[in-house]
Amino acid sequence: MEIIIGSIPPLQPQPQKMPQKGGNFLEAQLLHVRPPRKGIAGPSGRERRTKQGSDPRKGRVLTIMVPDASLLPADIDTARYDVTIRLIRR
């Protein structure tokens, strides 16, 4: 039997994963699909939303979930990204 008194060596810090310039592929799950928004008129008959924007008539809104959020860029909330999706039937 061997008894060692002391502590384990400190863990080495993990390198930060920098997003690749060409983009990276993430797996996600499709949660919901809905039609585009229509105008919402208030009691006065005017549009209630203050932000001017409209969804394309033939568009669809997809809700997706990325299981591992650490793979997403840190500035996903503030920066504009182009997103390309590839749909694969299960």
Amino acid at 84: T
- Identify which has the larger pLDDT, 54 or 77: 77
Instruction: Name the band, by pLDDT with cuts 50, 70 and 90, for residue 24.
Output: confident
Is 5 part of a structural domain of the chain?
no
Is 33 part of a structural domain of the chain?
yes
Tens digit of each residue's pLDDT (9 = 90 or more) over 27-43: 899 999 998 877 666 66
Indicate left, alpha or beta for 23 from its phi (over 0: left) and psi (-120 to 50: alpha): left
Q: What is the SS3 assignment for the chain?
A: CCCCCCCCCCCCCCCCCCCCCCCCCCCCEEEEEECCCCCCECCCCCECCCCCCCCCCCCCEEEEECCCHHHCCCCCCCCCCCCCCCCCCC
What integer pLDDT is reported at residue 56 of this predicted model? 78
Is 46 part of a structural domain of the chain?
no
Rounded Cα gap, residues 65 and 30, in angstroms: 7
The tally of domains found in the chain comes to 1
Is 81 part of a structural domain of the chain?
yes
Q: What is the pTM of this model?
A: 0.54
Range of the domain at 65: 23-37+54-90
Is 70 part of a structural domain of the chain?
yes
